[in-house]
A and B are shown apart, each in its own frame.
Chain A
Amino acid sequence: MFLRLAWFSLLSRKGSVLLTLLAISVSIFVLLGIEHIRQQAKSSFGNTVSGVDLIVGARTGDINLLLYSVFRLGNATNNISWSSYQNIQSQPQVAWSIPISLGDSHKGFRVMGTDRGYFEHFRYGQKRPLTLAQGKPFDKVFDVVLGAKVAEQLKYQLGDQLTLSHGMGSTSFSEHKDKPFRVVGILEGTGTPVDQTLHVSLQGIEAVHLNWQSGPHKKRKKAEALADLQQLEPESITAFMLGLKSKMAIFRLQRNINNFPKEPLLAILPGVTLTQLWEMMAAVEQSLQLVSALVLLASLLGLSAMLLTSIRERQREITIMRMLGASPLFIFILIQLEAMLITLSALAIALLSLVATTMLTGEWLAKDLGVHLSPWAPNASSILMMAAILLSAFLVSLAPAISAYSRAK
């Protein structure tokens, strides 16, 4: 009877109830939506690299090194000499290493020179290795392995030929047109910057730069080099990743690298720097949460105001119920029940639209923005949030409920 009474009472005030319902739905949608995106961003962010113990580059800021080596954002201030790399790589604590050479691009996608150790040792997400959707890792100097996004967006197939450009930008004037690369492999999608990267061998990077920039007088060297490109040895690389035999050695090796006598180097722990980077964004994230919480509060206050106004019109109704034997507590609960019905319906509407929106736009977001947004599903924090929403609805509805209670007294 309680529910029936509350239900028909709300139905009799369709207009204002519906508007309040919509306002609350929208604000819950925003609140939970932002929370969902935040969590997704955070996890995909933390998933970009794993299983790498140290990242080493020329001395710069921690975050800068992380940005260009892992996220392919920004540029290195300086390179590392090949001899330093070899020196550190041969340290007894080092289990494996991945050299990284950046600086070229192809139609806006970054090109990364590395060696085959990359396909073997690089991990992302929950220690997941890279897998090839098609083909095989690069073998020859002019072989290229594409990230999933690159292949998809530029519609490349195995065996296609492409040329690299110097620097970034899709319409670079300085293209290495004389040295076309052949697609030999396409990686499975990872949801990380790997998808937007073209991978070539270090020798490939060296080869395209042989006669470039320096003009004709280097032609002789080019001719020599082309004779045996496989033997090309880079003079320098941008950065490298290290995996150690024992985690115990990480801090000692980091200190040694930071005090490397031959050139100024910087070694970072990717996990630690990822956290630092995320904390830099915490202010934005928190202000977004604050704004959405305030929007919700505003809509709940609207609910309270709507109910409070209705109480005045319902004096007669309250008297009738009192005469029939309803206690003041009954009236109080009735008003709270109406508030809960509205809030629960709003919650249901918000959740349904959230699931629908994330399902429908997920593909589009992944395709056009490279953002992976999985469909909304409840988790501990969102359930806690929903409980908080219901509690807030209860608290703001105390005003009309108490008003009705005191009128019934």
Chain B
Amino acid sequence: MAVSIQQLRFAYPSDTAKTVLNIPEWSVAQGESVFLHGPSGTGKSTLLNLLAGILQCREGTLEVLGHSLHTMSGRQRDRFRARHIGFVFQQFNLIPYLNVLDNVLLASYFADRASGREDALTLLQELQLDAELCRKKASELSVGQQQRVAIARALISKPEMLIVDEPTSALDTDNRDIFMQLLLELVQRHQMTLLFVSHDRSLDRGFHRSVSLQEFNQAAHAGESI
């Protein structure tokens, strides 16, 4: 199993009374690509932060790629995230003052992997980003280019799972299609597990499974009923 959740309850320390997530059981198989949707405010980002080990799960069990995140220390979770999870956000994925290549290499630095410049350049080429572009500062790129660099960075440390959070919301239709096509191709080629979050359900073509968070998060139901 890539993800296995049991009896997970989560509330932010700042507001312990409000349970954001209450998931009796949920799982994602290894190599599966899952399209996760649901309106905003239902805890999608919280779930992603838990899966990535940014937030700590204090109640229930949370296993990702065979690691029990609920028992790991902060430092262990940081290392786990660096080595096993690739991340792509909505927008502003890159450190603006570093050039494209350094942005990609930064990820392999944290993952402690021996991926060098050559690996990074090859990967960037696969994403249709040429060598000249790689020397540019991230802030000089178009949004579409930035999102592709973000994929390259997510893949450089060869993670087993890719978490992608609303990556196309800032893209126009053409760029969005290019992005989705590249992403799904790469995920398939590298046989990664993909967790793709979006509220735009028109994107769910090509995924193994499309699921709404509300289907398995009972806290969201509770929240709505009040």
* Smallest beta-carbon distance B127→chain A, Å: 18
In the docked arrangement, what's the CA distance between A2 and B21, Å? 36
Number of A-B contacts (CB under 8 A): 56
Contacts A5-B98, A9-B97, A317-B95 given; indicate if A323 touches B106 (C-beta within 8 A).
Answer: no
* Smallest beta-carbon distance B161→chain A, Å: 13
Main secondary structure of the interface of A (DSSP, over half): helix
Asked whether, in the complex, the Cβ of B82 is within 8 Å of the Cβ of A325, the reply is yes
Asked whether, in the complex, the Cβ of A1 is within 8 Å of the Cβ of B105, the reply is yes
Decide if B148 is an interface residue (CB 8 Å cutoff): no
Q: Which of B93, B106, B153 touches A5 (beta carbons < 8 Å)?
A: B106
Contacts A316-B92, A320-B93 given; indicate if A325 touches B81 (C-beta within 8 A).
Answer: yes
In the docked arrangement, what's the CA distance between A323 and B84, Å? 11
* Smallest beta-carbon distance A2→chain B, Å: 9
Decide if A220 is an interface residue (CB 8 Å cutoff): no
Chain B residue at smallest Cβ distance from A326: B110
Q: List residues of chain B with CB within 8 A of the CB of A325.
A: 78-79, 81-83, 107, 110-111
Asked whether, in the complex, the Cβ of A8 is within 8 Å of the Cβ of B97, the reply is yes
Q: List residues of chain B with CB within 8 A of the CB of A328.
A: 74
Q: List residues of chain B with CB within 8 A of the CB of A324.
A: 81-82, 87, 106-107, 110-111, 153
0/1 interface trace, chain B 83-116, chain A, CB 8 Å (1 if under): 1000101001111111000100111011100000
Q: List residues of chain B with CB within 8 A of the CB of A365.
A: none
In the docked arrangement, what's the CA distance between A316 and B96, Å? 10
The 3 closest A-B pairs by CB, nearest first: A325-B82, A12-B97, A325-B110
**Besides A5-B95, A326-B110, 19 other A-B contacts (C-beta < 8 A):** A1-B105, A1-B109, A5-B98, A8-B97, A12-B96, A320-B92, A320-B94, A321-B110, A322-B78, A323-B54, A323-B81, A323-B89, A324-B81, A324-B111, A325-B78, A325-B111, A326-B78, A326-B82, A327-B74
Chain A positions within 8 Å of B, measured between CB atoms, are 1, 4-5, 8-9, 11-12, 316-317, 320-328
Chain B positions within 8 Å of A, measured between CB atoms, are 52, 54, 74-75, 78-79, 81-83, 87, 89, 92-98, 102, 105-107, 109-111, 153
| A-B contacts, 20 listed (Cβ < 8 Å) | A1-B109, A5-B98, A9-B97, A11-B97, A320-B89, A320-B92, A320-B93, A320-B95, A321-B95, A321-B110, A322-B78, A324-B81, A324-B87, A324-B107, A324-B110, A325-B78, A325-B81, A325-B107, A325-B110, A327-B78
